[in-house]
Amino acid sequence: MFDFPSTVMAGFESSGLAGVPEAGGAESAEAEEDAELPLLKRGGSSSPEPPPDFDELAGGALEEGVADVELPAAGAEPDLAGVVFAALVSCVRRGGPLSSAVIPTGALSAFIEGLGSSDPVGCHAPVAIQGASLFRALLCRALFTVNNPNELPVCSASYTVPGSKDIGTGSALYALASQNFPLIKIAIGTSDIFFPSLLICNTAMARGPASFFLGAFLSPTGICGRSSCAAANGMTKRKTSAIAQQATVARCKLFNDAGCRSERGAPGLAVFARPGNPNCVHARFISSGEIPMQVNDKAPDFTLQDENGKQVSLKDFRGKIVVLYFYPKANTPG
């Protein structure tokens, strides 16, 4: 008879050959492998319960007293991951009947990517979001639907600086965002600034700052901005269908490392942030003028100085055809 190393044997056991569902050796071996995913056990099929999928994960985490979850204060350490995880999941789960119905198509790749990487910690936003890739996977997968401010107390600070005096604290943003905006479609883009790994989530639905957990969010109708914890690169113009009418979503501006930058995009709420600077989170409403123009839109009026210092307004030329030619500043590319 072969003398199986105990771990191998345990592996058999846990995969159903030996019929012993809980094998200590397998647990420890897997624990190592899954160090990044403490909640995701890859137990064999014969375990008393089927291996948890993300829905169950989410549900389990949710049921365990999420209501009492406290958000980590500024400077939270990654070991608060579980707590924040629960908070995030709760948001997802509170989202109403559609919560698990739609799976953004980018989820799988993002998850795989997330498994293989560990992110730098140092963003001022809650660390756990960046520090634990599993969260990202869940975020990608999740459909955030939040319909009123009361639904989102536990995690609403997750996209801003805890303790910030700016308007960017979670509840404030949420209150703003939830006032008038229709359901928005958020897109979480890729980042090459803060994360070494690629995160691609396609879209999720959100109303209010649930969408601000992570990454940029875009809206055909309401909101364009970016959370304090992630930047989105490559958020190119894309057609969004669903919900609102077909609309082209504007590209979100990347953060500039030199400081806070404004966002440009659909009218709505913008979140500005700068990595590493906890005081630099702001929110403001973008005026409706700042959306990319389309044919038949009314041209926004403006008044500028001409080359002689004379004030010229677009409305001066009402009744005439105006050819307005934008060109780059001298000595710049383009």
Partner 1 sequence: MLLGISPDTPKAQKKFQDAFSLPFTLLADADKKVAEAFGVMKQKNMYGKKVWGVARTTFIIGPDGKIEHIFEKVKPEGHAEEVLAYLKDSAKGAA
Contact positions vs partner 1 (CB under 8 A): 250-251, 253-254, 264, 289-302, 304-309, 312, 314-315, 317-330, 332-334
Residue identified by tokens 């004030």 is: 311
The least distance separating partner 1 from the CB of residue 100, rounded to whole angstroms, comes to 36
Residue pair 272/280 in contact (Cβ under 8 Å)? The answer is yes
Task: Closer to partner 1 by CB, 32 or 307: give it.
Answer: 307
Task: Closer to partner 1 by CB, 67 or 295: give it.
Answer: 295
Task: Closer to partner 1 by CB, 19 or 328: give it.
Answer: 328
- Alpha carbon distance 226, 222 (integer Å): 13
- Residue 88 CA neighbour count, 13 Å, CB half: 32
Indicate left, alpha or beta for 108 from its phi (over 0: left) and psi (-120 to 50: alpha).
alpha
Please name the helix (run of DSSP H) or strand (run of DSSP E) that holds residue 197, with its range, or none: none
Q: Give the chain's end-to-end CA distance (angstroms, integer).
A: 75
Residue pair 40/57 in contact (Cβ under 8 Å)? The answer is yes
The least distance separating partner 1 from the CB of residue 255, rounded to whole angstroms, comes to 11
Per the structure block, which two tokens stand in for 127? 């660390």
Q: Where are the alpha helices (DSSP H) in 116-256?
A: 127-131, 133-141, 170-180
The least distance separating partner 1 from the CB of residue 254, rounded to whole angstroms, comes to 7
The least distance separating partner 1 from the CB of residue 39, rounded to whole angstroms, comes to 37
**What is the number of other CB atoms lying within 10 angstroms of the CB of residue 321?**
5
Q: What is the widest separation between alpha-carbon atoms in the chain?
A: 97
C-alpha Rg value of the chain to the nearest Å = 24
Task: Closer to partner 1 by CB, 66 or 254: give it.
Answer: 254
The least distance separating partner 1 from the CB of residue 245, rounded to whole angstroms, comes to 18
Per the structure block, which two tokens stand in for 122? 């140092």
Task: Closer to partner 1 by CB, 3 or 307: give it.
Answer: 307
Task: Closer to partner 1 by CB, 118 or 233: give it.
Answer: 233
The least distance separating partner 1 from the CB of residue 70, rounded to whole angstroms, comes to 38
Residue identified by tokens 């072969």 is: 2
- Alpha carbon distance 231, 190 (integer Å): 8
Task: Closer to partner 1 by CB, 180 or 236: give it.
Answer: 236
The least distance separating partner 1 from the CB of residue 300, rounded to whole angstroms, comes to 4
